[in-house]
Amino acid sequence: MDLHHDHPAPRPRRLRRRPGRTPAALLRRVGLALAAAFALSAVAVPASAEEDTPLRCTMAVTGKGSDGRLLTGPLSCTSFPITREAGAALDGAAGLRAVTLATHYTGPNYTGSALTITGSGCDGSWLNMPAGWVDVISSTRSYCTVVHYDYFYLGGAVGVTYSPGGNLLTFDNRTNSAEYL
C-alpha cells in the first residue's frame, strides 16, 4: 500500500466577507447607533443641576377630577440662574396667587431646574409629572407630605418627603407621579 500520494496539497479556503460585515463597517454602524441614542437622550429633559441656567417652571392647578387627579394649566418655563435662596423667595412669591403645593428640583438640596405646582391645598390630590419632568426629580420643597411614585397613576414603589421637604436619596430620579397629603 502506497502511503505517499501524488495529490497536490489542499489550498487554504479563502474567507469571503459579506458586504457591510467588515470590521470597519460594523464600527461605523455601532458609532452611528450610539450617536443617535445620545441625540435622542437630550430631547425634552429640563436643564440639569450642572448647567449654568436651569429652567424655572410653574404649573397651576385649575381643578380636580373625581379620582383626585389634579387638572392643570399649561406648563410655563423660563430660564435664568437660580440659587437655593432665590428658589425659596420664588416659592413664597408663587404663594401670593395660590398655595405652592410643592417645588420639585432636578438637583439635590433644592438645586437645578425647578417645577412649582400651585393649587389650593394638601388634600390627597395627585398628578402625573408633565413631559420632561419624568424620572428627573432629586429633591422636593413642600409644606405637604409628598408621596413620589415610581409609575404613572400612583403606581409602583414610593418615596416620601415630609414638610419642609428634602432629598429623595434612594428614590432619586424615579418620580413619575406625586400625591400631595
What's residue 53's pLDDT? 79
More confident residue, 14 or 123: 123
What is the CA angle 103-109-110, rounded to 5? Answer: 30
Q: State the virtual CA torsion across 72, 77, 83, 86 in degrees, nearest 10.
A: -70
For residue 130, pLDDT beyond 60? yes
Asked if residue 20 has pLDDT above 60, the reply is no
Question: Mind listing the domains of the chain with CATH numbers?
Answer: 55-180 (2.60.20.10)
Give residue-wise pLDDT tens across range 62-93: 999 999 999 999 999 998 665 555 555 554 44
What three-state secondary structure class fits 112? strand
Residue type, 44: A
Grid cell 428640583 is found at: 105
Instruction: Give the strand pairing for 99-107 and 125-128.
Output: unpaired
